[in-house]
Amino acid sequence: MKYNFDKIVDRNNTYAVKYDERVKNFGTDNVIPLWIADMDFETAQPVKDAIMKRAAHGIYGYVSKPDSYFQAFCEWQKKRNNWDVDRELVSFNPGVVPSLSAIVKEFTSDGDKVLIQTPVYPEFYEVVEAWDRTVIDNQLIENNGVYSMDFEDFEEKLKQGPRLFIFCNPQNPVGKVWSMDELRKITDLCLKYNVLIASDEIHADLMLWNNKHIPTASVSKAVSDITITCTSCSKTFNLAGLQASFAVFPDKKSKERFDKFWANLEIHRNNCFSLVALEAAYREGEEWLEQLIPYIEGNMEYVIEYCKNHIPQIKISKPESTYLLWMDCRSLGLNNDELKSFMVNKAHLGLNPGHKFSRSLSGYMRMNVACPRSVLEKAMNQLESAVKGL
Ligand SMILES: Cc1ncc(COP(=O)(O)O)c(C=O)c1O
């Protein structure tokens, strides 16, 4: 079936954080919301059908997790990423961030160090600090808008003895897809210093321009023995509100430890809608995803070209994955508070401030382009006028 990503769907008053929490976040609802990472597109028809069929049943009691749910996940990984996942080592969990938090709690101790690479999804800081662990930061290197890893610094940081490395593969916010060469180098160092890897692969299905995702755990058997992969199709199919994700463990012992964490909280059942929705997405959603990707690519090209031609003060490099753009606004000459206020009060855009992704950064913003093109056209016109008025 042909999907129409140009269609405007009104999300106001649906409790959508992106819309209904604008006043809380920006002090006004007079901003086009291009922030938190979900999409303004309806999900794939088979997913909607599965949820509607389940909803029509009318009874929403306790549910068990069918084997077919986990099999659907494993088959998707094999098909899309050529990754053989042992179903016995896959856990259900209510989100990737909750899983990362559980991993920090269960696999490190009070006061331990945890390594991250910034700029990165801000919750990487939060899940570490929430459990009184200390963040060590191996900053990515930026060269003309292109990001790469600083392997020398990574090794120096490993010498400080972190117990865990939380890895963003692919990378949010810079949209980097890590190559096999980069993955080998980084995982060799983790093996050398005996550091556990929690690999967040939630954006893995959102590969642009024929880039290819390589799951960290698929690099080698030795690497899979030190890697816990946290992923979901919640970004891929816009299902974040259903609160369901997967974690893949190196062995039964570590999986049991993780599962016990959730069991102790009495969190061990899916909600009935996420079960049918995720399985339908994995089994029947690919057609939708294949239409979504070119639309996102088009949106990215549109914004990048617009800035190049009309707002050269804002520089954006083409990302390789995700639906997020990392905007270098340093030439506007504004500090972080001024930049946020400028975007909200002058451009009327609700974006994510860059310094949340790296506390030492200033002058960056992140824009979510997973919305109809007409919304972006309006947003870019507003941004151009605001910059001209500076
Ligand atoms: C890298 C990364 N991990 C995790 C999440 C959120 O995961 P969840 O909603 O499953 O907790 C996001 C959402 O933007 C993300 O970008």
Identify the band that residue 382 occupies on the pLDDT scale cut at 50, 70 and 90: very high
How confident is the model at residue 270, as a pLDDT? 83
Nearest to residue 116, comparing CAs of 152, 157, 165?
A: 165
Contacts (Cβ under 8 Å, ≥6 apart) of 207: 170, 177, 213, 293, 320, 321
- The whole-angstrom separation of Cα 135 and Cα 152 is 18
Q: Which pair of structure tokens corresponds to residue 176?
A: 């980097």
Does 295 score more than 90 pLDDT?
yes
Span 35-61, average pLDDT = 98
Amino acid identity for residue 262 in this structure: W
Q: What is the mean pLDDT of the chain?
A: 97
Identify the band that residue 219 occupies on the pLDDT scale cut at 50, 70 and 90: very high
- The whole-angstrom separation of Cα 64 and Cα 270 is 7
Identify the band that residue 268 occupies on the pLDDT scale cut at 50, 70 and 90: confident
Span 83-111, average pLDDT = 97
Q: What is the pLDDT of residues 360-370, one digit of tens each?
A: 999 999 999 99
Does 269 score more than 90 pLDDT?
no
Pocket test for ligand 1, best of 121, 176, 229, 274 (most atoms within 8 A of CB): 121
Question: Each residue of 190-222: b (16+ CB within 10 Å) or e?
Answer: beebebbbbbbbbbbbbbbeeeebbbbbbbeee
CATH number for region 60-283: 3.40.640.10
Q: Phi first, then psi: what are they for 168, rounded to 5°?
A: -105, 105
Q: What is the residue extent of each domain of the chain? A: 17-44+287-388, 60-283
Q: Which pair of structure tokens corresponds to residue 300?
A: 């990215």
- The whole-angstrom separation of Cα 244 and Cα 273 is 10
Pocket test for ligand 1, best of 103, 127, 172, 325 (most atoms within 8 A of CB): 172
* DSSP reduced 3-state for 349: strand
202 lines ligand 1 (CB under 6 A): yes
- Return the CATH superfamily for domain 17-44+287-388: Aspartate Aminotransferase, domain 1 (3.90.1150.10)
Look at phi and psi of residue 333 and say left if phi exceeds 0, alpha if psi is from -120 to 50, else beta. Answer: left
121 lines ligand 1 (CB under 6 A): yes
Q: What is the pLDDT of residues 1-41, one digit of tens each?
A: 999 999 999 999 999 999 999 999 999 999 999 999 999 99
Span 272-287, average pLDDT = 97
How confident is the model at residue 70, as a pLDDT? 97
Span 40-67, average pLDDT = 97
Residue nearest to atom 7 of ligand 1 (CA): 96
Q: Phi first, then psi: what are they for 357, rounded to 5°?
A: -90, -15
Question: Each residue of 322-357: b (16+ CB within 10 Å) or e?
Answer: bbbbbbbbbebebebeebbebbbeebbbbbbbbbbb
Span 306-310, average pLDDT = 98
Would you list the DSSP string of 290-344?
HHHHHHHHHHHHHHHHHHHHH-TTSEEPPPSBSSEEEEE-GGG---HHHHHHIII
How confident is the model at residue 305, as a pLDDT? 98
168 lines ligand 1 (CB under 6 A): yes
Tokens 């692919």, located at residue? 170
Identify the band that residue 151 occupies on the pLDDT scale cut at 50, 70 and 90: very high
- The whole-angstrom separation of Cα 274 and Cα 81 is 23
Same fold? 17-44+287-388, 60-283: no
Q: Which pair of structure tokens corresponds to residue 330?
A: 């340093």
196 lines ligand 1 (CB under 6 A): no
Contacts (Cβ under 8 Å, ≥6 apart) of 118: 137, 139, 140, 357, 358, 359, 360, 361
Span 315-341, average pLDDT = 98
Residue nearest to atom 13 of ligand 1 (CA): 37
Q: What is the pLDDT of residues 224-261, one digit of tens each?
A: 999 999 999 999 999 999 999 999 999 999 999 999 99
Q: Which pair of structure tokens corresponds to residue 387?
A: 């910059």
Could you give the percent of the chain with pLDDT greater than 90? 98
